[in-house]
C-alpha cells in the first residue's frame, strides 16, 4: 500500500492529470467547421457591423429562446450596461451580492446605486423574502440573477415587481438554454442578458446578448449598441460600442448547433459528480434550482470544513497540485470587494448567507473538454483528501511555516 505522501501531488507524488483540467465550458468546434465559417468572412470581406453571420445568429437565437428580439453584444457586461441605460433605471436597484461583480458595476456605470440582497441558503438564488426590507422609495428596479444553471423564481419576482411598480430584468449569464416551468429563460421580466464568454455553455469566445419582447426597448438597445439602420446615436443618452463581430458570431453559431450535445454531456458529468460526491461527508453539491431544464453549466459545492476535514481553500490547493483548476466562486462577494467596501461599507456583515457561501463554495470542472473518466478521477481525489484530511492539513500548515 502507498504511503499517504505518495498519494498526493501536493506532497510530491506525480499529478493525477498530465494536463490541466480547466473549469468553464471551453467549447472548440472542429477546425474544419471553423475554417469553413471564417472562409466566408474572408470571401465577403466583411468583419463587423450587422454582418450576415450576426443577423443569422440573432434570428436563430430568437427562434431558440422564443423571444421577439435578440440583440447580440460584445460581452455580457456590455449587455448589462446597455440594459440599465435602456430601462432608464435611476436611484437604486436591488440585486444579490452573490454574483459576478459586473452585475453591480453595470449599475454604477449607469449612475444607479446597487442594493445588495442576501441569497437563499439552499438554492443560492436571491432571497425573495428579504426584498421587502430593502425596497424603499429610491428603488426603481430589481435585477434577478439566474445562478448555476438554475433560476431565481422569475414568475414570483415578476409578480413582486408588478405589485410594487418596479422594473425587473435578469442577469441570466449562467442560464442559457434553461427552462423555468417549461418556458425558456430569456423571456422573463422586461429583458434578460446572457453571456457568451468562452467559459459559458454557449460560446462566442467573448460575447453575449440582450433579449426582450418589448419593441421600444429593443429599439433603444439597438441604438445604444451602434450600427442599426435608421437610429442615430443622438436618440439615446449614452452610446456604447458593444458590437459583436462576424468572427464571434461564427463561433456562436457553431456552439448553438452543438448546444444540445454539450448540454447533455454536462448533464451526464453532473450526474456522475452527484453520485460520487454524495457519499463523502462535508461536501454538498448544489443542484440547479427553480428550473425544469438545466444547462448544468456549473458544478458548485459547499465545503463544510468541520465535516469534510479541511477547508475549501485547502482542497483547492490539493486539486491544483493534481492539475485540476478548481476555484473559489464567487469570492469575496461583491459587497466585500475593495471597491464596494469603500463606497458602500454598511453591507459588511449584513449578508450572512452570502458570506458563508463565499467562504465555502468551490467550482469544479465540467464542460466540453471534460469526460466521465476525468470526473471520476476528480471525485476520487476529493474522496482521498477527505479520508486523509488530518495528514493533509498538517502537511499544508507545515509547508506554510
- As a whole number of angstroms, the distance between CA 383 and CA 328 comes to 19
Interacting residue with ligand T4K among 29, 51, 76, 114 (CB under 6 A): 76
Between residues 24 and 288, which has the closer beta carbon with respect to ligand T4K?
A: 24
Binding-site string for ligand T4K from residue 85 to residue 114, where x marks contact by CB under 6 A and - marks none: --------------xx-xx-----------
Between residues 57 and 102, which has the closer beta carbon with respect to ligand T4K?
A: 102
Binding-site string for ligand T4K from residue 269 to residue 308, where x marks contact by CB under 6 A and - marks none: ----------------------------------------
CA angle 123, 126, 130 (to 5 degrees): 115
Interacting residue with ligand T4K among 7, 37, 50, 75 (CB under 6 A): 75
Between residues 13 and 26, which has the closer beta carbon with respect to ligand T4K?
A: 26
Q: In the complex, what is the shortest distance from the CB of residue 196 to ligand T4K, in angstroms, rounded to a whole number?
A: 7
Contacts with ligand T4K in 141-160 (CB under 6 A)?
145
> Cβ contacts of residue 340 below 8 Å, gap of 6+?
104, 114, 116, 334, 347
> Cβ contacts of residue 222 below 8 Å, gap of 6+?
71, 228, 231
169 in contact with ligand T4K (CB under 6 A): no
Burial of 342 (0-12, 13-18, 19+ CB in 10 A): exposed
Interacting residue with ligand T4K among 128, 231, 325, 377 (CB under 6 A): 325
26 in contact with ligand T4K (CB under 6 A): yes
Interacting residue with ligand T4K among 187, 208, 288, 309 (CB under 6 A): 208
**Only segment of 63-71, 158-166, 194-202, 260-268 that touches ligand T4K (CB under 6 A):** 194-202
Expressed in angstroms, the distance from the first to the final Cα of the chain is 30
Q: In the complex, what is the shortest distance from the CB of residue 126 to ligand T4K, in angstroms, rounded to a whole number?
A: 12
Q: How many CB atoms lie within 10 A of CB 138?
A: 12
Q: In the complex, what is the shortest distance from the CB of residue 199 to ligand T4K, in angstroms, rounded to a whole number?
A: 5
Interacting residue with ligand T4K among 24, 141, 150, 309 (CB under 6 A): 24
Interacting residue with ligand T4K among 173, 175, 217, 358 (CB under 6 A): 173
* Cα 152 to Cα 96, 240, 297, distances in angstroms: 11, 29, 16
Interacting residue with ligand T4K among 197, 263, 284, 312 (CB under 6 A): 197
All cell numbers assigned to 115: 442594493
Q: In the complex, what is the shortest distance from the CB of residue 152 to ligand T4K, in angstroms, rounded to a whole number?
A: 11
Which residue's CB atom is positioned nearest to ligand T4K? 76
199 in contact with ligand T4K (CB under 6 A): yes
Identify the bridge partners of residue 286 per DSSP, sorted by sequence position. none
Q: In what order do the strands lie in the sheet with 92-96?
A: 69-73, 208-212, 191-195, 167-171, 139-145, 92-96, 113-117
Q: Are strands 113-117 and 283-285 parallel, antiparallel or unpaired?
A: unpaired
Interacting residue with ligand T4K among 50, 77, 248, 294 (CB under 6 A): 77
198 in contact with ligand T4K (CB under 6 A): yes
CA pseudo-torsion sign 194, 199, 201, 204? positive
DSSP annotation of 115: E
Identify the bridge partners of residue 84 per DSSP, sorted by sequence position. none
Interacting residue with ligand T4K among 167, 174, 184, 384 (CB under 6 A): 174
Q: How many residues does the chain have?
A: 401
Q: What backbone phi and psi angles, to 5 degrees, belong to 389? A: -65, -35
Which residues bind to ligand T4K, rule: CB under 6 A? 22-24, 26, 75-77, 99-100, 102-103, 145, 171, 173-174, 195, 197-199, 208, 325
Amino acid at each position: 500500500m502507498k504511503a499517504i505522501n505518495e498519494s498526493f501531488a501536493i506532497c510530491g507524488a506525480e499529478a493525477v492529470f498530465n494536463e490541466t483540467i480547466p473549469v468553464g465550458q471551453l467549447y472548440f468546434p472542429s477546425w474544419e467547421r471553423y475554417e469553413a465559417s471564417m472562409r466566408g468572412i474572408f470571401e465577403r470581406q466583411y468583419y463587423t457591423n450587422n454582418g450576415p453571420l450576426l443577423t443569422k445568429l440573432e434570428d436563430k437565437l430568437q427562434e431558440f429562446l422564443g423571444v421577439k428580439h435578440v440583440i447580440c453584444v460584445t460581452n455580457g457586461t456590455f449587455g448589462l450596461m446597455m440594459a440599465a441605460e435602456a430601462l432608464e433605471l435611476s436611484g437604486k436597484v436591488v440585486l444579490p451580492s452573490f454574483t459576478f461583480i459586473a452585475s453591480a458595476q453595470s449599475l454604477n456605470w449607469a449612475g444607479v446605486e446597487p442594493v445588495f440582497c442576501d441569497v437563499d441558503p439552499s438554492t443560492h438564488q436571491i432571497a425573495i423574502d428579504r426584498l421587502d426590507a430593502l425596497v424603499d422609495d429610491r428603488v426603481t428596479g430589481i435585477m434577478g440573477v439566474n445562478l448555476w444553471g438554475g433560476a431565481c423564481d422569475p414568475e414570483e419576482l415578476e409578480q413582486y415587481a408588478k405589485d410594487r411598480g418596479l422594473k425587473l430584468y435578469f442577469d441570466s449569464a449562467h442560464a442559457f438554454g434553461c427552462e423555468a416551468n417549461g418556458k425558456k429563460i430569456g423571456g422573463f421580466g422586461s429583458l434578460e442578458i446572457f453571456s457568451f464568454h468562452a467559459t459559458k455553455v454557449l460560446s462566442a469566445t467573448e460575447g453575449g446578448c440582450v433579449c426582450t419582447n418589448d419593441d421600444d426597448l429593443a429599439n433603444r438597445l439597438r441604438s445604444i449598441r451602434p450600427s442599426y439602420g435608421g437610429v442615430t446615436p443622438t436618440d439615446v443618452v449614452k452610446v456604447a460600442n458593444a458590437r459583436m463581430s462576424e468572427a464571434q458570431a461564427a463561433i456562436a453559431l457553431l456552439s448553438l448547433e452543438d448546444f444540445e450535445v454539450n448540454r447533455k454531456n454536462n448533464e451526464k458529468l453532473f450526474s456522475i459528480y452527484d453520485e460520487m460526491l454524495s457519499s463523502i461527508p462535508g461536501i454538498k453539491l448544489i443542484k440547479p434550482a427553480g428550473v425544469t431544464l438545466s444547462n448544468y453549466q456549473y458544478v458548485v459545492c459547499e465545503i463544510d470544513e468541520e465535516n469534510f476535514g479541511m477547508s475549501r481553500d485547502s482542497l483547492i490547493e490539493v486539486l491544483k497540485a493534481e492539475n485540476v483548476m478548481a476555484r473559489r466562486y464567487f469570492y469575496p462577494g461583491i459587497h466585500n470587494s475593495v471597491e464596494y467596501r469603500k463606497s458602500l461599507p454598511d453591507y459588511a456583515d449584513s449578508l450572512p448567507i452570502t458570506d458563508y457561501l463565499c467562504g465555502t463554495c468551490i467550482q469544479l470542472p465540467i464542460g466540453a473538454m471534460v469526460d466521465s473518466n476525468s470526473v471520476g478521477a476528480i471525485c476520487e481525489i476529493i474522496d482521498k483528501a477527505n479520508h486523509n484530511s488530518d495528514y493533509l492539513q498538517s502537511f499544508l500548515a507545515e509547508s506554510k511555516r
